[in-house]
Structure 1
């Protein structure tokens, strides 16, 4: 009885502390407040291939080292408002650089590490970045050479601990106090051929991370994991969660199973996930083991979002892995919109995206923006503190916010009487593969330049492992057999398209289906035809 009471009191105290910290004005204030509370508690653990090379950073070390890195950046010329782009893998050094920039009050533009010339060049040009941090040669690709090839300014490497700039923090000005100024530019391909720069503030990121943290009912005894790109909007989302509840996460520079499993096991990870693709990969490893043996013995919760979750995946995880699965809904524009909670009903966890946090307003409308009756399907629109400030291109902001300030998501769904959100489709023509948005138009525009392609449509097809796979459907102009999946992917690589966007399925047709009025390609017919391909 005494133990239970103590545990309950401790949990209540942790929750109260987390909610109090969530009121921090800036990310740097949040870091300082957490470091003052638990300076010696671990926050980041780098899992290496050789356990002897694992590294750990405490909350106190995070604060102190970030100040020194910030001072080094300041001496390089980085000032409040200076735009700094960085394209770095999921490493302790990446977190140090990012939060050092937050200490200065710089504007930072994270770029996913597997983006190449097309996307990186666009991000650098549009953001007008004055500095660009890269990992050097990483996974066989020379990012430094690419940066110089693109004419980037202020290029420096920041992969290893000793690469980071270092100086006496006494040179620094006071930390920023305003959490509502735009200090983050995240990139999303959306539904157009070029990426869109999404503008965030410290407060919008704290609000998104708070939604995730409070929904999952976390404890200081938990051990999380980051196996996704830290440059993704999920990076600050997850880090805010660590800062609020004071527990650590294991960082994986490269998520590949079964190789990464040893890191999960030796560090006793209790909370893992990322997206539907991650759930499927863990399930595949679980199914290799004898009955009664768990793939990660300490795991109690899989959590994630970023891609549709079939109900059967939820049931398979609970049944076969012996842990809970909670799934949420977020996007680059709104890092966390709704999230499932571990103590919710199996029905809600399997079939909905969870509940919104306090302050997140969800409006479901028809195409003209009029609210539809309760429970009816419509377009999902959002308003709240976690919503971005718009886009780098003001014209795009005008198009995406309605007259009442609601963000038009392009996603379709309805809200249950319980408040749970159910997504039923997407109005936007965007493919979500392993949690990453892929613009169909970008690929189509490149395919139309191929001399053997008469016309092309790119669609997303359901895939148990990836969420969706990319399928290119082509009307062939040249001789039969001239176009193959191999030749098409080689061509797209040559045009600078990132590997994760490459089609995984090719269908050559005599004619694309079109409507009788505007001759618009009927993609839903293609999805119906090739879904089982």
Structure 2
């Protein structure tokens, strides 16, 4: 930490101090565009300050408290996020798709007191979830930032009204310690021990400013972001770097291809900072894409999983798009195709780290020995915007970090030295995680819930390959004697009833008499993955 400050990477100021300084510098320039609003920096920062003052005046929330977020891609989400930072209240970046159980587990682990929600999101299920969370004591305060206010919840307009005369200079953010936790980001499942990445003020501000500087953002840059803005990717690749650099953020309500093309035509963005391969494929398959002028897109950054070479070449040849690849994590470290990289590097690697003080080791899995260039090992990282430990997880941290502070990512990688550049490729993972597009499904979380079903004797959740999303989840079930096999529909209904998010549901179910075991007596998921791959190959032959 001392080194990062001494070399000028960390500035000794809190994240909201940095954001408000940028807002003053860029006052009348456009900060945020959605289908409903077109706000300047002055308008956005003033609204966020009113929200912050209203939170402190109309709720029991106080600086240092944490609040869960269940909001979609609307302007009010940005106001609420910034407002919490200004009030010294720490956002917990959950998603509206998370179920009651997941929110409760996370809230209790972190000690969160509040819930910020969008009542009109999706099918309107969030108010009922909030009532349950309040009744169970998982949270104490609910704030409805959009949609109809219910029960004891406090509404958005009420907060803005209560904070209308507030002086931003009197808000608590001026006194926040720069080394303190600004935001909680999620990494991993929510059973047993949730993995929460505590993002500190200085490092999170540096993360956003560094990303903007690396991509050359500034006044006149238009950034289009179609994925969930409250993901770490949304916050650290779009929201904060845009606002810190004076760029304009265009927030798409969804990643629907038609919506995306409409916004490209209307706003002419230069940057799409995170395009999952599935979205890239949908753009290629949409006839309208081939009639739309996409020449404004100078930075089309693909991430979330390895991009197939065929897709990269089709984007180049059919749509005139030269891709850059990215790899990142809620824990911090980002890798990105460097400017001027050759096509081989752009198509075959995820690039190089952003900061000159980012450090990467490729270690032999399970050990501390570094492997030679070109050999597969575990990606281990340390740097000025990478966490040094999960929140309240001392036992897990002992194995997740090396003694000298390198985070063991669980991803398999190789180091390449080519064309005068050191870059990295990601070649699989050690951890039992299913990458469904940009979403991560942790097998142990789903398996724990499946085992609650009275008819299930054993379960193993594995990844099965998918040409669009990369992977989907397949559940291998051993049923209790005499019980009927479950289907995708019946298992899904049970898991939804247990509060599991819909995107984590198994999309295929295989009933077996027993699960294969390894030579040390553990379930051999390698054999199961090979089995489902063989079945899929036979079905498509």
In which range does the TM-score fall when normalised by the shorter chain? 0.7 to 0.9
Superposition pairs of residues 48-447 of structure 1, within 5 angstroms: 54-76=36-58, 77-151=60-134, 152-159=139-146, 162=157, 164-166=159-161, 167=163, 168-170=165-167, 171-173=170-172, 175-176=174-175, 178-190=177-189, 195-218=194-217, 220-237=219-236, 238-272=238-272, 273-285=274-286, 288-289=287-288, 293-294=291-292, 296=294, 298-334=296-332, 336-357=333-354, 358-366=356-364, 367-395=366-394, 396-417=396-417, 418-447=421-450
Preserved CA contact (<8 Å) 1:215 1:340: no
Preserved CA contact (<8 Å) 1:337 1:360: no
Preserved CA contact (<8 Å) 2:120 2:146: no
- Distance in 2 of aligned mates of 1:525 and 1:462: 14
- Distance in 2 of aligned mates of 1:489 and 1:142: 17
Distance 1:21 1:236, change over 3 A: farther
Task: Confirm or deny that 1:46 pairs with 2:34.
Answer: yes
Q: How many residues are paired up?
A: 504
Which ranges of structure 2 fall in alignment gaps of 5 or more residues? 1-6, 148-155, 537-541
Cα shift readout 1:335-394 (whole Å, capped 9, x = no counterpart): x42112353111111111111021111111122222223332211111111112422223
Distance 1:31 1:332, change over 3 A: same
TM norm structure 1? 0.87
Preserved CA contact (<8 Å) 1:216 1:340: no
Report the alpha carbon displacement of residue 434 of structure 1 after superposing the two structures with TM: 1.9
Secondary structure of the residue that 1:241 maps to in structure 2?
helix
Report the alpha carbon displacement of residue 513 of structure 1 after superposing the two structures with TM: 2.3
Cα shift readout 1:100-122 (whole Å, capped 9, x = no counterpart): 22123222212111101121111
Q: Give the corresponding residue for 2:453.
A: 450
- Distance in 2 of aligned mates of 1:99 and 1:165: 13
Cα shift readout 1:179-218 (whole Å, capped 9, x = no counterpart): 2211211222259665322211122222332443233334
Preserved CA contact (<8 Å) 1:81 1:183: no
Distance 1:173 1:332, change over 3 A: closer
Secondary structure of the residue that 1:376 maps to in structure 2?
coil
Preserved CA contact (<8 Å) 2:13 2:178: yes
Q: Give the corresponding residue for 1:513.
A: 516
Distance 1:486 1:268, change over 3 A: same
- Distance in 2 of aligned mates of 1:244 and 1:504: 40
Q: Give the corresponding residue for 1:26.
A: 14
Cα shift readout 1:296-335 (whole Å, capped 9, x = no counterpart): 463333214233322322222222221121121111111x
Distance 1:269 1:482, change over 3 A: same
Distance 1:192 1:369, change over 3 A: farther
Cα shift readout 1:217-269 (whole Å, capped 9, x = no counterpart): 34533321121112211232122221343221211223323344323322223
Which ranges of structure 1 fall in alignment gaps of 5 or more residues? 1-18, 48-53
Cα shift readout 1:408-456 (whole Å, capped 9, x = no counterpart): 1111112112321111111110111121111111112222333443322
- Distance in 1 of aligned mates of 2:253 and 2:194: 24
- Distance in 1 of aligned mates of 2:414 and 2:531: 27
TM norm structure 2? 0.86
- Distance in 1 of aligned mates of 2:469 and 2:288: 22
Distance 1:289 1:73, change over 3 A: closer
Distance 1:91 1:504, change over 3 A: same
Report the alpha carbon displacement of residue 505 of structure 1 after superposing the two structures with TM: 1.9
Preserved CA contact (<8 Å) 2:295 2:320: no
Preserved CA contact (<8 Å) 2:379 2:413: yes
Distance 1:249 1:508, change over 3 A: same
- Distance in 2 of aligned mates of 1:415 and 1:407: 17
Aligned CA RMSD, in angstroms, stands at 2.6
Report the alpha carbon displacement of residue 489 of structure 1 after superposing the two structures with TM: 1.6
Secondary structure of the residue that 1:261 maps to in structure 2?
helix
Q: Give the corresponding residue for 1:50.
A: none
Secondary structure of the residue that 2:449 maps to in structure 1?
helix
